[in-house]
């Protein structure tokens, strides 16, 4: 049977200046970014142009590749792709955030649609922010036109804030995946109805609380390996923060987006710009929030300007010394986390001895409530020790990591397990390394 050529896809491919062979090569590279090995070639792309429908995950990879080339999100309809593997969520920042959150949490709680979440990969094109986010002051109507919640509404806001602390603590103890559905349910059944209710509608405190809960759900999605879904939640959280005139939560959200991109190996100018915007929006926030954003800016600047990175790190440490906010994920910045960022920055600057010392201090300062962070810090310390030839010290940290690994359900931890297996392969004749490789193999597949 003859097929109708996909003219829309052909025009897009021509617009970005790629031949079928070049597009196939870029798709293979993109697939590798997401841990996949796919055998796209010129003939594969040509079949799609001739009208054959790409099979998952090809549609998502095609859209991301074209989006990166175009510098903006490309929709499935624009590319002539009638079947895509993800839940239909508007990728634009400008999409109504409450409606978008309802769509996503509904899919999280529906077994028939849940499997469709997270099948799209991370999108660099989605990092581009609209003017209402990038302006130096968060725009909005005059304060008199932004009523706060009524008495009953404030009670609902108080519940939302209390649940933020509980969900954050649970994710730190168990990882994001086991807690994600519970938070999605709370948002769907409690937070979203609250935002629609007259008691909370347009309330700044309700919107801020919703922004923080949504940001936590984004973190849990990222920790579950659902990176594109996490990006959707981050966008929603940022929009809620803008509508709430909450520059501190907006700064934290933008910083989190930059951190997420960096953890996936992206440190482009767009990611650096996110960090810069986070610092800008944090300028009037408490010192803890300012320190939090400056520390991540230092990490990204380390790829471009070592002196600027060290200056930002020094500012972060100075601000942290002045911080005295109450405990909480949006009010405090633990010294252990700041030391971890110092370790990351120094590692990028090739000061691995300094990075080891910073990570050791971070690990020493981790509290029992920072279980997940401590496990990930051990893995990073092991990798840094090995990079400077400290095999025995690395093996000690890897052993502690493997002992704690089964207590977490975290994609970040799984990535470190994958790194362990790759890094210790050359040392498999070493008795302890061989034992650790065997233990790691029981916990997860070989890389």
Tokens of 271: 């990611």
Q: At 324, which helix (H) or strand (E)?
A: none
What are the strands, taking DSSP E only, across 174-277?
none
Q: State how far the Cα of 443 lies from the Cα of 421, in Å rounded to an integer.
A: 11
8 Å CB contact between 214 and 237 = yes
- Dihedral angle sign, alpha carbons of residues 97, 67, 299, 352: positive
> Which ranges constitute the DSSP H helices of 349-390?
352-365, 371-387
pLDDT of 139 reads 39
pLDDT of 313 reads 97
Residue with tokens 């050359």: 426
Report the 3 state secondary structure along 3-62.
CCCCHHHHHHHHHCCCCHHHHHHHHHHHHHHCCCCCCCCHHHHHHHHCCCCCCCCHHHHH
The verdict on pTM exceeding 0.95 is no
What are the strands, taking DSSP E only, across 184-252?
none
Closest CA to 212 of 155, 161, 148: 161
The ranges assigned to domains in the chain are 7-70, 92-245
Q: State how far the Cα of 185 lies from the Cα of 183, in Å rounded to an integer.
A: 5
Tokens of 2: 């003859």
Residues of 55-67 as b/e, b for ≥16 C-beta within 10 angstroms?
eebbbbbbbbbbb
Q: Kindly tell me the number of DSSP H helices and DSSP E strands found in the chain.
A: 22, 0
Cis-peptide into 320, omega within 30 deg: no
pLDDT of 98 reads 87
Q: State how far the Cα of 309 lies from the Cα of 323, in Å rounded to an integer.
A: 21
- Residue 327 DSSP symbol: S
- Assign 186 to helix, strand or coil: helix
Residue with tokens 């010392």: 357
8 Å CB contact between 244 and 282 = no
Based on its alpha-carbon atoms, the radius of gyration of the chain, rounded to whole angstroms, reads 23
CA distance readout (Å), 218 to 180, 260, 411: 9, 10, 13
CA distance readout (Å), 238 to 80, 206, 415: 30, 14, 27
Residue 376, sorted as left (phi over 0), alpha (psi -120 to 50) or beta, turns out to be: alpha
pLDDT of 144 reads 39
8 Å CB contact between 128 and 270 = yes
- Residue 326 DSSP symbol: P
Local confidence pLDDT in tens for the 447 residues of the chain: 447 888 889 888 988 889 999 999 999 998 887 777 888 999 999 999 998 888 888 888 888 888 888 777 777 777 888 554 445 566 666 678 888 898 899 888 876 565 556 556 788 878 877 666 664 444 343 343 445 555 556 778 888 999 999 999 999 999 988 899 999 999 998 888 888 777 665 578 889 999 999 999 999 999 998 898 999 999 999 999 999 999 999 999 999 999 999 999 999 999 999 999 999 999 999 999 999 999 999 999 999 999 999 999 999 999 999 998 888 999 999 999 999 999 999 999 999 999 999 999 999 999 999 999 999 999 999 999 999 999 999 999 999 999 999 999 999 999 999 999 999 999 989 999 999 999 999 987 554
Kindly report the number of other CB atoms within 10 A of residue 99's CB atom: 13
Distance of CA 145 to the CA centre of its chain: 34
pLDDT of 151 reads 58
> Which ranges constitute the DSSP H helices of 110-176?
111-114, 131-134, 151-174
Residue with tokens 């602390």: 165
Q: State how far the Cα of 330 lies from the Cα of 227, in Å rounded to an integer.
A: 22
Q: State how far the Cα of 154 lies from the Cα of 283, in Å rounded to an integer.
A: 28
Give pLDDT tens digits for 325-344: 888 999 999 999 999 999 99
Q: State how far the Cα of 287 lies from the Cα of 97, in Å rounded to an integer.
A: 29
Q: State how far the Cα of 421 lies from the Cα of 444, in Å rounded to an integer.
A: 10
Residue with tokens 């953890």: 263
Residue 386, sorted as left (phi over 0), alpha (psi -120 to 50) or beta, turns out to be: alpha
């Amino acid at each position: 049977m003859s097929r109708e050529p996909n003219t829309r896809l052909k025009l897009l491919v021509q617009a970005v200046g790629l031949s079928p062979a070049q597009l196939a090569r870029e798709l293979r590279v993109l697939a590798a970014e997401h841990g996949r090995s796919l055998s796209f070639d010129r003939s594969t792309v040509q079949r799609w142009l001739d009208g054959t429908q790409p099979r998952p995950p090809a549609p998502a990879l095609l859209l991301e590749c074209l989006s990166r080339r175009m510098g903006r999100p490309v929709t499935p309809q624009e590319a002539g792709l009638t079947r895509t593997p993800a839940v239909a969520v508007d990728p634009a920042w400008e999409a109504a955030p409450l409606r978008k959150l309802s769509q996503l949490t509904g899919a999280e709680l529906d077994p028939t649609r849940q499997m469709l979440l997270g099948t799209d990969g991370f999108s660099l094109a989605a990092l581009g922010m609209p003017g209402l986010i990038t302006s130096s002051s968060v725009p909005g109507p005059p304060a008199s036109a932004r009523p706060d919640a009524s008495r009953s509404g404030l009670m609902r806001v108080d519940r939302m804030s209390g649940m933020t602390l509980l969900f954050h603590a649970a994710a730190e103890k168990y990882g994001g995946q086991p807690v994600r559905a519970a938070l999605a349910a709370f948002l769907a059944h409690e937070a979203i109805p609250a935002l629609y209710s007259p008691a909370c509608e347009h309330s700044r405190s309700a919107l801020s609380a919703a922004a923080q809960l949504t940001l936590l759900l984004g973190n849990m999605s990222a920790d579950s390996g659902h990176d594109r879904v996490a990006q959707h939640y981050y966008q929603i959280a940022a929009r809620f923060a803008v509508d709430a005139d909450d520059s501190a939560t907006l700064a934290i959200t933008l910083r989190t987006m930059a951190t997420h991109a960096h953890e996936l190996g992206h440190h482009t100018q767009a990611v650096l710009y996110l960090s810069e915007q986070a610092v800008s929006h944090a300028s009037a926030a408490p010192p803890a929030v300012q320190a939090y954003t400056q520390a991540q800016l230092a990490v990204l600047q380390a790829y471009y300007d070592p002196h600027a990175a060290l200056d930002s790190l020094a500012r972060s440490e100075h601000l942290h010394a002045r911080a005295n906010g109450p405990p909480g994920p949006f009010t405090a910045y633990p010294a252990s986390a700041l030391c971890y960022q110092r370790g990351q920055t120094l590692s990028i600057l090739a000061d691995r001895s300094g990075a080891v010392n910073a990570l050791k201090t971070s690990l020493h300062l981790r509290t029992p409530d920072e279980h997940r962070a401590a496990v990930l810090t051990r893995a990073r310390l092991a990798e840094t020790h090995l990079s400077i030839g400290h095999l025995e010290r690395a093996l000690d940290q890897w052993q502690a990591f493997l002992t704690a690994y089964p207590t977490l359900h975290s994609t970040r931890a799984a990535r470190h397990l994958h790194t362990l297996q790759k890094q210790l392969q050359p040392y498999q004749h070493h008795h302890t390394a061989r034992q650790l490789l065997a233990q790691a193999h029981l916990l997860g597949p070989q890389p």
